């Protein structure tokens, strides 16, 4: 899942409360995610687990201690909403070129911008990314990321297993499949009544399914 110039960087599991999401992932995968930090520009905070040498799971929720960003909170699930995978993120060696190719193909993923996260030790992790608010096709189309000189998060958080596959479910699977082909990445797209992501993760206790 991590070979080639473009690869799945991480999958995003949204929840109404970060501790709740961490509990759910610990129950499923057997290892508790560790706090990652706060995204002041998105109004969120997260926790992480590694799913391979350069792939990870991000558990994310609104941070009630952060002010409301101008665009609103990137994730803002209510307590009644179930935690679920909301999108995926594609790592690329040339984010500007791939973002341009995506825009030329009619995919409104937004311009390349700078991102950052305040880590628990007080340091700041920085990267480049396209607009995570864009969410083309409801989240079926990824946003892009490039870590530059920053250490990849997967190398410094606990390993929960290995991401074996990620499948996109969508009512318009043909359009999604055509759109995803722009990114030259190996990912399955299947027909379904509504959008969803299905991750198969190999753990020490067998394969687990995360949706």
pLDDT digits (tens, 9 = 90+) for 154-197: 999 999 999 999 999 999 999 999 999 999 998 999 999 999 99
Count of CB atoms situated within 10 Å of the CB of 71: 12
Residue 30 maps to a domain: yes
User: Which pLDDT score, from 0 to 100, does residue 4 have?
Assistant: 63
Residue 112 belongs to some domain of the structure: yes
Average pLDDT over residues 129-148: 95
Distance set, CA 56 to CA 13, 18, 36, 64, 104 (Å)? 11, 17, 12, 24, 29
CB atoms within 10 A of CB 167: 15
DSSP state of 132: T
Which helix (H) or strand (E) element contains residue 62? strand 56-62
pLDDT at position 21 is 98
Contacts of 64 (CB under 8 A, 6+ apart): none
How, if at all, do strands 188-191 and 162-170 pair?
Answer: parallel
Q: What is the pLDDT of residue 3?
A: 56
Tell me: pLDDT of 2 over 70: no
What is the pLDDT averaged over residues 107-124?
86
- The answer as to whether 86 is a domain residue is yes
Find out whether 44 and 37 touch, Cβ atoms under 8 Å. Answer: no
* Residue 186 counted as domain residue: yes
| Total domains in the fold of the chain | 1
Nearest Cα residue to 12 out of 123, 135, 179, 172: 135
The residues near 25 (Cβ < 8 Å, ≥ 6 apart) are: 13, 32, 33, 47, 49, 57, 59, 160, 210
CB 109 within 8 A of CB 144: yes
44: containing domain: 6-210
> Can you tell me the mean pLDDT for 142-158?
92
Domain containing 200 — which CATH number?
A: 3.10.180.10
Q: What is the per-residue pLDDT for 80?
A: 84
Q: Is residue 150 assigned to a domain?
A: yes
Please report, rounded to a whole number, the percentage of residues in the chain having pLDDT higher than 90: 86
Is there a domain that residue 1 lies in? no
Which tens digit of pLDDT belongs to each residue from 31-87?
999 999 999 999 999 999 999 999 999 999 999 999 999 999 999 998 889 999 999
Q: What pLDDT is stored for residue 77 in this prediction?
A: 94
With respect to residue 34, please indicate whether it lies within any of the assigned structural domains: yes
Q: Is the pLDDT of residue 204 over 90?
A: yes
- The answer to the question of residue 22 being in a domain is yes
Cβ-based burial of 40 (10 A; exposed 0-12, middle 13-18, buried ≥19): middle
């Amino acid at each position: 899942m991590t070979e080639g110039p473009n690869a799945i960087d991480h999958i995003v599991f949204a929840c109404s409360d970060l501790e709740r999401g961490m509990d759910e992932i610990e129950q499923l995968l057997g290892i508790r995610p560790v706090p990652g930090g706060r995204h002041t520009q998105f109004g969120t905070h997260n926790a992480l687990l590694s799913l391979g040498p350069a792939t990870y799971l991000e558990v994310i929720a609104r941070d009630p201690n952060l002010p409301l960003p101008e665009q609103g909170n990137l994730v803002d699930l209510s307590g009644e909403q179930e935690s679920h995978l909301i999108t995926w993120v594609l790592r690329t060696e040339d984010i500007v070129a791939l973002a341009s190719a995506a825009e030329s193909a009619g995919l409104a993923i937004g311009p390349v911008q700078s991102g950052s996260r305040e880590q628990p030790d007080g340091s700041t992790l920085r990267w480049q990314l396209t607009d995570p608010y864009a969410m083309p096709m409801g989240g079926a189309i990824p946003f892009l990321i490039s870590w530059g000189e920053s250490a990849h998060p997967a190398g410094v958080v606990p390993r929960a297993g290995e991401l074996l596959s990620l499948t996109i479910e969508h009512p318009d699977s043909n359009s999604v499949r055509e759109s995803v082909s722009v990114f030259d990445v190996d990912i399955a797209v299947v027909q379904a009544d509504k959008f969803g992501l299905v991750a198969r993760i190999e753990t020490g206790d067998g394969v687990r399914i995360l949706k």
